[in-house]
Amino acid sequence: MIFDFAICAHVQSAPSATQDVAMSVEARERRQPWVLLAPALGAVTLLLLVPLLFIVVYSFWLRSAVGPDTAGFHLDNWQRALTDPFYRYILLNTLKIAAITTFFCALLGYPAAYFITRSSGNKLILLLLLMLPFWISYIIRTMSWINILGSSGALNTALMSMGVISSPIQMLYNEATVILGLVHFLLPFMVLNIYVSLDGIDTNLEDAATSLGATRWQAFTQVTLPLSLPGLAAGGLLCFVLGAGTYITPLILGGPRDAMFANLVFEAIITQLNWPMGSALSLLLLIVLGALVALYNRYLGMSQLTKGLG
């Protein structure tokens, strides 16, 4: 098949024809990448960029009690989103929960990532253990804690059978269990990012430090730890942004008073059907988290982040 084609091309190569072909090939070469990019770029533009601009406009509309929302330029939604003390409390509390979650992810994730990088054991199994949590469903991992901490869960059953308590203790549905669920969900992102960054560090550096008289601990804190900070930062950013944007975990593991900011968005859009208000609230969340990403991008660049994702 390919051969036939080659012969044809040779037979036809009269001088003028060659020039024509060369021209059109060049033109096609230049057009081709855009033809290939068009579907994906078109999809992102139509399904993300334009919709984002649309909700910017929508956030200035007003909800009508009956009929369609009133178009126009009203600042009411934004005024409420920015000044309502309840919204502000939830926003700050969301950031607090995300920060605590990120801290615990780093605390648990760093030593584990370090062990995987430096272990001389079976690397394949360790890496599999690293990737496996990503494949286990988020909702399953979140609800699995009900089996552990619920009133007829493993912990209560064990404590009762040992006679420590006589009736089940209520351990679920508070802020602590929301953080627990988030740490459990986000820890793999942290471990993976730190692993990617630690794996790129030459181990000779640490050996050089010890041979020059540093203790192992000094070699770690003064050589390896600083070099792995970009990975820690990338993991931290991912944990924080993903944690601050969740509403499922508080719904499953939190009590009625443990709503996070994304729960407000969900309430406004799905329950109250107040779409203009929902637009303003989701944009506020986007602005707050986007500012963090921009700050990160300014000082550390985006490449570290895509490294961990890819």
301 touches another protein by CB under 8 A: no
Q: Establish how many alpha carbons lie within 13 A of residue 227's alpha carbon, considering only the half-sphere containing its beta carbon.
A: 17
Q: Total number of residues binding another protein (CB under 8 A)?
A: 93
Cβ 116 to another protein, closest distance in Å?
Answer: 7
Region 217-246 residues binding another protein, contact defined as CB under 8 A: 217, 241, 244-246
Site for another protein (CB under 8 A): which residue of 55, 201, 225, 300?
55
135 touches another protein by CB under 8 A: yes
Burial status of residue 196 (CB atoms within 10 A of its CB: 0-12, 13-18, 19 or more) = buried
Return the bridge partners of 62, or none: 70
Cβ 84 to another protein, closest distance in Å?
Answer: 19
125 touches another protein by CB under 8 A: no
Interatomic CA distance for residues 241 and 235, integer angstroms: 10
Interatomic CA distance for residues 88 and 80, integer angstroms: 10
Site for another protein (CB under 8 A): which residue of 133, 159, 201, 227?
133
Site for another protein (CB under 8 A): which residue of 90, 91, 192, 262?
262
Give the 3-state DSSP-derived string for 131-177, with helices as H, strands as E and coil as C.
HHHHHCCHHHHHHHHHHHHCCCCHHHHHHHHCCCCCCCCCCCCCHHH
CB 147 within 8 A of CB 184: no
109 touches another protein by CB under 8 A: yes
Q: Which is nearer to another protein, 16 or 161 (CB)?
A: 161
3 touches another protein by CB under 8 A: yes
Region 59-98 residues binding another protein, contact defined as CB under 8 A: none
299 touches another protein by CB under 8 A: no
Full DSSP string of 91-131: HHHHHHHHHHHHHHHHHHHHHHHHHHHH--S-HHHHHHHHH
Site for another protein (CB under 8 A): which residue of 6, 14, 65, 212?
6
Nearest alpha carbon to residue 225 among 242, 237, 209, 240: 209
Which residue stretches of the chain are H helix?
2-11, 15-44, 50-58, 76-83, 85-118, 123-135, 138-149, 154-161, 175-199, 203-211, 216-219, 225-244, 248-253, 261-266, 275-300, 303-309
Region 8-27 residues binding another protein, contact defined as CB under 8 A: 8-10
The stretch among 84-92, 95-103, 129-137, 227-235 that binds another protein (CB under 8 A) is 129-137
The stretch among 72-80, 193-201, 209-217, 227-235 that binds another protein (CB under 8 A) is 209-217
Site for another protein (CB under 8 A): which residue of 62, 99, 100, 108?
108
Q: Which is nearer to another protein, 227 or 248 (CB)?
A: 248
The stretch among 37-45, 74-82, 85-93, 194-202 that binds another protein (CB under 8 A) is 37-45
